[in-house]
Amino acid sequence: MSTFLIGLSIAMLLFLLAAGLTLIFGMLRIINFAHGAMYMFGAYLAYQISAASGNFWLALLAAPLGLALLGALAERWLLRPIYAMPHEFQLLITFGLILVLEEAVHVFWGLSGRSIAPPAALTGSVEWFGTAFARYRLFVIALGLAMVVLLLVGIERSRIGLIVRACSVNPAMAAALGVKVNTVRTAVFAAGAALAGLAGAIAGPMLPIQLQMGTTIILDCFIVVILGGLGNIRGAVLGALLIGMTRAYGQQWLPEWIDMLTYGVLIATLLLRPQGLFSKKERLA
């Protein structure tokens, strides 16, 4: 039971990060290589806000908003001018954004690692079936599941989701119908960045807040997105669950082989179903 819950908490964190990445790709056709750096920046921002205010909840709210602003500015001034250019330019721009964000973190916070203390209500553990399970992980699971519902409902059932999907499928037609496509693109990138910031803020109490934290998690994030299918939110949920459980049960039974198991799943998927395990022909976002 504890392994299952740990796997679920890993999956929810991965989903929060991967959802932003797949959202951006689904709408903008951009693979945002700076996504891991945004996650890192979100963690540092959350650390700073919680350290200054003593309020974890404020940090949890403000860090994603800060990243949303950053994402909006990045889309407007860095990406919009190069949509018509070859993909290599997008790769270079987002890679450049990584370097800028990492250097900004280095300048403002230095090289020392940081830590966010969870709020008192989420510290400690609960005993279930003779095993101690961290309260904070239960919170991560609950928040992750809430975001799954919010994103799926938002994208599949709401008018905003309909507009986003229309802009991704046929931006010219959407523009002809009066939709401000550029504004939608900015909003989607901002939302994706906000999700990265939220993931960073959530990860703060669980993982080391340090310069390399984006690099170490982004690989798993890309695996989730590839497994689920680029631009597929439902796929991202299932991909995150698959990777989360692989890592948790892999650690339980075969800890030395855990990376091989994870990348083995990726290789098998690319060979057998390169469009993603859960991808449908039409894109949801």
Partner 1 sequence: MQQLVRGAALALTLVGGMLTPTVPAWAQDAFRIAGVLPLSGAFGIIGENMRRGVTIAIEERNGRVLGKPIEVSWDDTETSTQVAVQKTTRALSREVHTVFGEVSSGSTLAMMKLTEQRKIPQLITLSADDRITGSDKSRYAFRTSNTVAMENRMIGEFAQRQGAKKLYAIVADYQVGRDMWAALKADFESRGIQVVGVDLAAIGTKDYAVLLDKALRSGADSLMLLVVGGDVVTSLKQGADVGLAQKMRVMGTMLMDETLGLAVGPAGSVGVNSTLRYHHTQDTPRNKRFVEAYKAKYKELPSQYAGEAYDGMSWWLDTVESTGVWDKEKWVDAFRASVRKDSVEGEKRMRACDNQAEQPGLFGVAERAGGDGPIVMKVTERFGAASLFKPCS
Contact residues toward partner 1 (CB under 8 A) are 2-3, 6, 9-10, 106, 111-117, 123-125, 130-137, 205-213, 216-217, 220, 247-248, 251-252, 255-256, 258-259
Q: Closer to partner 1 at the Cβ: 131 or 170? A: 131
- CB under 8 Å to 253, separation ≥6 — which residues? none
Q: Closer to partner 1 at the Cβ: 78 or 245? A: 245
Count Cα atoms within 13 angstroms, Cβ side, for 121: 5
Q: Closer to partner 1 at the Cβ: 94 or 210? A: 210
- CB under 8 Å to 69, separation ≥6 — which residues? 190
CB of 102 to partner 1, least distance (A): 9
Q: How far is CA 256 from CA 10, 16, 49, in A?
A: 18, 27, 38
Q: Closer to partner 1 at the Cβ: 186 or 262? A: 262
CB of 256 to partner 1, least distance (A): 5
CB of 5 to partner 1, least distance (A): 9
Q: Closer to partner 1 at the Cβ: 132 or 177? A: 132
CB of 10 to partner 1, least distance (A): 5
Q: Closer to partner 1 at the Cβ: 179 or 207? A: 207
Count Cα atoms within 13 angstroms, Cβ side, for 231: 17
Three-point CA angle 121, 124, 128, nearest 5° = 110
CB of 11 to partner 1, least distance (A): 11
CB of 58 to partner 1, least distance (A): 19
Alpha helices in 29-134 (DSSP H): 35-53, 56-74, 87-109
- Structure token digits, residue 213: 């934290």
**246-252, Cβ contacts within 8 angstroms, sequence gap of 24 or more:** 247/7, 247/10, 247/220, 248/3, 248/4, 248/6, 248/7, 248/10, 249/3, 249/7, 251/3, 252/3
